[in-house]
Structure 1
Amino acid sequence: MRAGVVVLLCLLCSCGRKEVDPQLLIEERAASQIAGMRATVLRNCERDVQEAAVLRADSLLLDRARRMRRIAGRPPKPGRPGAPPVLELSEPLPLRPLFPFEIRFDTLLRDSLLRDSLLQDSLLLDSLYQDSLRLDSSLQLQ
Structure 2
Amino acid sequence: MEPSKSKRNTHFSANEITAIVGGVSRRKSIINGSLCGSTVTCSQKKKRAWEEVADEVWAVGGSVRTVEEIKKKWSNIKVESKKQGALHRHESNKTGGAPAALDDECQKILATIGDAAIYGIKGGLEGTINCEGKV
Q: TM-score range by the shorter chain?
A: under 0.3
Q: What is the TM-score with the length of structure 1 in the denominator?
A: 0.21
> Of Structure 1 and Structure 2, which has the larger fraction of its residues in helix?
1
- Which structure has the greater CA radius of gyration? 1
Q: What is the TM-score with the length of structure 2 in the denominator?
A: 0.22
Query: Greater relative contact order: 1 or 2 (C-alpha under 8 angstroms, separation 6 or more)?
Result: 2
